[in-house]
Amino acid sequence: MNIVRDIIKKIGKKIKTSKVILIVGQDRSGKSELLNDLRLYLLKKMNINEKAVYTLSFENSAALDDYEQDPSGFVEKYVLMKGRQNRLYLIFDDYQFVEKGFEKLQVICRSFPDVQLIVATTVLTQSESESSFMRKRGVASYFLMPFSFGECLKAKSKGLSDIFDHYNKFLTGLICNGKEFRIFRRQDVHCVDYHKRYEEYCIWGGFPEVVLAGNTDNRKKMLRGIYKEYLARTALPLIRSVDERALFSLTHLFSKEINGSLVYRNACRITGHDFRKVKSIIEVLCDSVFCFRALPVFQDRIKEITKNPKIFLSDLGIRNFLIDNFRSFSTRKDEVNIIKNGVFLNLLHMCSDIAEIKCWRTKAGGSVDFVVQRGNKLIPIDVKNEWFISEKISRSLRSFIEDYSPSTALVLTRDYHGYMTVKDTKVIFIPLYYV
């Protein structure tokens, strides 16, 4: 069953204006399927002649050897094959196997102005030269994560998926573009069905094969295989002088402390490495889309926390595998943190290409779960997995509104739709599963 990924629409808008499209995602997150869908998008939506579109995998050793020895000569073959077509589209899969891959992309961009590159890899390193290349060449980069909650619904329940799309479209417009939408005060009649699906998403995660599997034992084996493959093929080759035990200890720590502050002292203690080494390991985990950091928003260094980002994992199934806990919400104590991790992932899915997802905390203990920052505009988001019968906000959210005066704030509820005004800020209440 092929689920067309939501990210295709975002990438499609950039294909005409960006010389290089870079897609970063873990193995088995659906990169190859996405590249195939992008090829069909070029052929059918953009009416590109098939002679001008080629997909190549560098897991193929012959192709890899040819490309590494002479990237210009490698591309020249396909330029000749496209004939009279104005533009050539090359889709590269498994680009992480290419040595000094960014240098070769620069060569191609300089030598072939009519070649469009779509490149998929498992890791995005951020050296100064690579960052400079991405800025100068207008590289559009995207994280491909496992299925979002909305994509899981596409695979499991069309009826719920259609309703989700309706509300998610309005929320996306609000968060990404500031477009307001009309909302009525009411309880959500679909909340029982959605919470059942959302719990499944939070327990098993979004890796496509795991979502589509029906058997619990099979799902556990798949998650174990995905994690082991990530260590062997991505993490360990990138981190020198770190053994699998230390890496497991660190990922296990992050799994236990999702939605918590990153404390480097604890990470150093359990891995046996110093601060500099631990920091480099965490960079690799983030660059390879295993986890994400939510940095703090602040304007007052005396009152607000300015360091120690929050840590979130890119897949909750892997998280639950690492702590060996696949029990239902009714029998576990970490439900709230799991749900907040899920909300974070779906916010990333919604707007990571145009905004940053941050957090806000004060030294006095106040906090707002997430703050979407797009330029100078901030939207605070408080996650309240509670039943509401009327509008109410936390003291922390009220403090944020008083300090920052955002035009809009969101409270994500268990079942309630509503709105209120605090100062000049419109506060919208909507069930968390529509994000």
Q: Is pLDDT at 30 greater than 90 in this prediction?
A: yes
Give Cα 361 distance to the centre of its chain: 23
Predicted pLDDT at 434: 97
Predicted pLDDT at 329: 96
* For range 317-334, the mean pLDDT: 96
* For range 88-94, the mean pLDDT: 95
* For range 384-407, the mean pLDDT: 95
Task: Kindly report which listed range (67-81, 158-172, 229-243, 294-308) carries the lowest average pLDDT score.
Answer: 294-308
Q: Is pLDDT at 428 greater than 80 in this prediction?
A: yes
* For range 7-12, the mean pLDDT: 92
Task: Kindly report which listed range (183-197, 292-306, 314-328) carries the lowest average pLDDT score.
Answer: 292-306
Predicted pLDDT at 80: 82
Residues 6+ apart with CB under 8 A from 329: 199, 202, 335, 338
* For range 309-330, the mean pLDDT: 97
* For range 203-231, the mean pLDDT: 96
Residue 307: CB atoms within 10 A of its CB come to 10
Instruction: pLDDT band for 261, please (50, 70, 90 cuts).
Output: confident
Instruction: Specify the residue for token string 């009309």.
Output: 182
205 and 151 in contact (C-beta within 8 Å)?
no
368 and 381 in contact (C-beta within 8 Å)?
yes
Q: Is pLDDT at 2 greater than 80 in this prediction?
A: no
39 and 23 in contact (C-beta within 8 Å)?
no
pTM recorded for the entire structure: 0.94
Instruction: pLDDT band for 62, please (50, 70, 90 cuts).
Output: very high
Query: For the residues of 338-374, what is the DSSP string, one character each?
Result: HHHHHHHHHHHHHHTTT-EEEEEEBTTS-EEEEEEEE
pLDDT tens for 348-363 read: 999 988 899 999 999 9
* Domains annotated on the chain, with CATH: 7-143 (3.40.50.300), 149-434 (no CATH)
| Rounded distance between C-alpha atoms, residue 354 and residue 176, angstroms | 7
